[in-house]
Structure 1
């Protein structure tokens, strides 16, 4: 059995970036530099460069050390001799082999030379790279209009040449993985320019590191240059004689703005071609009048006192979605098993309280089967998905299941009943912090997936003789545990009912109150729902004080 790769030697020098102790070597001689992220296929073998020595910098060792080559055009890179001479880059070519020598300075003195093997594309150093300036930095004074930073030495020389040698161009020394470190070490020089044009390689890593560097600089200073798709870097454009195209890209480099900050003048097309989130009406006209329906991409919180019908309202909504749309629906009813969820929805379909065992057992089997197929369809319909659990919940698993329902099962709507059970599944002693954590994650999930989510939440007990179970008016301040519920929700709908009233109508009629509507801003009473004990259904009523029922 082959031995698993693992580190056996630590704190060895890197021949690429010059670090004296950043390399760790594996048991198979592969190695990684934790400074520049270079990967050695064989640290002691084929990766080893002949005649390589690293000298720690001091005045005696770094002053006047010799390298090979002469000033000439870099023919493999199409860089003119004049440009190479300006940057102090010597080269030598023998048959098909070649080397470049890139000088790096501290102040006005060469501290180290980076050697590129043109055949193997490997690098090593003579002298010390520690503390050096950016490549080419010694050529330019601080405080100019523009500074361009490239990913490699040849890119810097190519960019300078294509811009008619008018503007300062430098490069990082250790590859794009070390870009932040290199620029931080020379930040005073970089920040002295009015604008900094970042021209890293035209690949995903280069684009990512461009943003990281832009974030490092003062606001408004960074511009990110975007090359045409067919070119990898500045030198690639020079070798293909696309000087004018490079100039155009350079002058059109866009000022960097952090993610989430948009220049609206550039967003006209996106504004007029935006994808509108789908919406469906609620089952009750009073809610539609104030909320203009239920929308995907929104988080709606339904709240009310204990025993005031929150689950009944959500079941009516679930049934409405199944009967009036073609959308898939996901349900996480955390206080009941999946059979109870199915019973509740069948009860609405049958207009009979089938969730009561005695009623269900007396109900004709053929009619029950008919309602089941009408509501849930055949086995291949796959529209309703219910979370099955054993009474225990892990909050990460719950979020994973919600995500799977949306992305894997194409559920457009998710019902979660209720927040308190999710909070108890999170092992945090602070209820407020736990609620904030869950609400933030739910908000992010809704934004990411575009699903519509209805969340059931409880109320805290209030002071005074009249509680929510006696019909007390609900406010946002009554939401249990955290202000995060009201702040993060797009809409908050409260249920109010005096379940202890001697008046049968009053005891079985629930007011709907809109506490928040980010979409319309319309709040206040939105009608009432009367519970019919015979059918188990909720019927919308208006003019509740007079007892007049209006059927829609």
Structure 2
């Protein structure tokens, strides 16, 4: 479903609800603390599709995750694949892709869901049916403003029960790279709306391009206000191995076993794990795979129907 700005009145969602301040007895937290220590092992966890991340990270309600990387290093592709993983777990996702037309967003996700480049028309029809009640698109390309995006998030949560909202990316919401106060204010508001509504917000943004994009960046390289990484709950860095790509183009396969991508968990406020995960890119499906020899995953978009009779 497309959320088209001109056809929806977001005015009722423009103003933040008044902050709620409460002082409560510490003992009232008992049940929640028991759940923290003794959460059933079979309690459902919302995870990414890569098994190597399981046990290290889960998407918790009311948090904000940053997805940062050098321009052109595949942040949006990774987040698109993660969105499919969320939808596969019956999570409701809304994507505000402010740099890419909705048709192209859906085309890329269709390739990722089918695990191949040459998807069929029957598959595309099935895939789009499968996205009903799982995926919404904010149908706007170009710059917007923080107040509007925050209103769209509240609207999506209230009207459709959206559990994950993707903002791609920060530069389209706060245009000036040196407007650190506006960046800090917007990210702080994202954290507030996440806690108020329970939605998990995914914010895509750039890191500074250093002397060489072959160097793996970290959270201190995030472009803009240094407060951004401090405010959010989780920080992911997406880095492509451009040196390996250059070697491959020249016919040099000496480093074929090196990863095509590093996915670095640089911060996890409510978890105990940080670290890097090695991934390999499959161009046809636009998927990131757990090992060099893996085949792309074909998402089960309907019982008995795969992404077409896939042969590689």
TM-score band by shorter chain is: 0.7 to 0.9
Alignment partner, residue 24 of structure 2: 262
Distance 1:286 1:375 in 2: 27
- Displacement of 1:273 after TM fit? 8.1
Alignment partner, residue 288 of structure 1: 54
Q: Over residues 251-308 of structure 1, what are the superposed CA-to-partner deviations in whole Å (9 max), with x where a residue is unaligned?
A: xxxxxxx93443313443665689x9974111112332422x2222211111111111
- Displacement of 1:508 after TM fit? 7.1
Alignment partner, residue 242 of structure 2: 499
2:232 aligned with 1:482:
no
For 1:325, which of 77, 89, 112 is the aligned residue? Answer: 89
Given that residues 177 and 224 in structure 2 are in contact (C-alpha distance below 8 angstroms), is that contact kept between their aligned partners in structure 1?
no
- Displacement of 1:411 after TM fit? 0.7
2:156 aligned with 1:405:
yes
2:139 aligned with 1:384:
no
Given that residues 97 and 140 in structure 2 are in contact (C-alpha distance below 8 angstroms), is that contact kept between their aligned partners in structure 1?
no
**TM-score using structure 1 length:** 0.44
Distance 1:550 1:342 in 2: 24
For 2:123, which of 371, 374, 388 is the aligned residue? Answer: 371
Moved more, 324-333 or 442-451: 324-333
Distance 2:177 2:243 in 1: 34
Distance 1:385 1:268, change over 3 A: same
Alignment of 1:55-74 (within 5 A): none
When the two chains are superposed, the root-mean-square deviation of aligned CA atoms in Å is 2.9
2:194 aligned with 1:446:
yes
Given that residues 178 and 224 in structure 2 are in contact (C-alpha distance below 8 angstroms), is that contact kept between their aligned partners in structure 1?
no
For 1:299, which of 64, 72, 87 is the aligned residue? Answer: 64
Distance 2:67 2:130 in 1: 31
Given that residues 419 and 455 in structure 1 are in contact (C-alpha distance below 8 angstroms), is that contact kept between their aligned partners in structure 2?
yes
Alignment partner, residue 540 of structure 1: 290
Q: Over residues 476-518 of structure 1, what are the superposed CA-to-partner deviations in whole Å (9 max), with x where a residue is unaligned?
A: 2101111222111111111223314343347970011111111
For 2:270, which of 499, 513, 519 is the aligned residue? Answer: 519
**TM-score using structure 2 length:** 0.75
Q: Over residues 432-466 of structure 1, what are the superposed CA-to-partner deviations in whole Å (9 max), with x where a residue is unaligned?
A: 1111011001000000000112111110133xx4x
- Secondary structure, counterpart of 2:173 in structure 1: helix
Distance 1:408 1:350, change over 3 A: same
Alignment partner, residue 170 of structure 2: 419
Distance 1:294 1:431 in 2: 30
Distance 1:395 1:457 in 2: 15
Given that residues 278 and 296 in structure 1 are in contact (C-alpha distance below 8 angstroms), is that contact kept between their aligned partners in structure 2?
no
Given that residues 47 and 86 in structure 2 are in contact (C-alpha distance below 8 angstroms), is that contact kept between their aligned partners in structure 1?
no
Alignment of 1:48-87 (within 5 A): none
Q: Over residues 103-129 of structure 1, what are the superposed CA-to-partner deviations in whole Å (9 max), with x where a residue is unaligned?
A: xxxxxxxxxxxxxxxxxxxxxxxxxxx
- Secondary structure, counterpart of 1:411 in structure 2: coil
Higher RCO by CA contacts (8 Å cutoff, separation 6 or greater): 2
Given that residues 498 and 506 in structure 1 are in contact (C-alpha distance below 8 angstroms), is that contact kept between their aligned partners in structure 2?
no
Alignment partner, residue 531 of structure 1: 281
- Secondary structure, counterpart of 1:474 in structure 2: coil
Note the residue ranges of structure 2 that are not aligned, 5 or more in a row: 1-19, 249-255, 298-312
The number of equivalent residue pairs is 264
2:129 aligned with 1:346:
no
Distance 1:528 1:259, change over 3 A: same
Q: Over residues 379-401 of structure 1, what are the superposed CA-to-partner deviations in whole Å (9 max), with x where a residue is unaligned?
A: 9x433110111524233222111
Q: Over residues 64-116 of structure 1, what are the superposed CA-to-partner deviations in whole Å (9 max), with x where a residue is unaligned?
A: xxxxxxxxxxxxxxxxxxxxxxxxxxxxxxxxxxxxxxxxxxxxxxxxxxxxx
Distance 2:230 2:92 in 1: 28
Alignment partner, residue 311 of structure 1: 76
- Secondary structure, counterpart of 1:460 in structure 2: coil
Structure index of larger Rg: 1
Distance 1:302 1:373 in 2: 30
Distance 1:308 1:270 in 2: 40
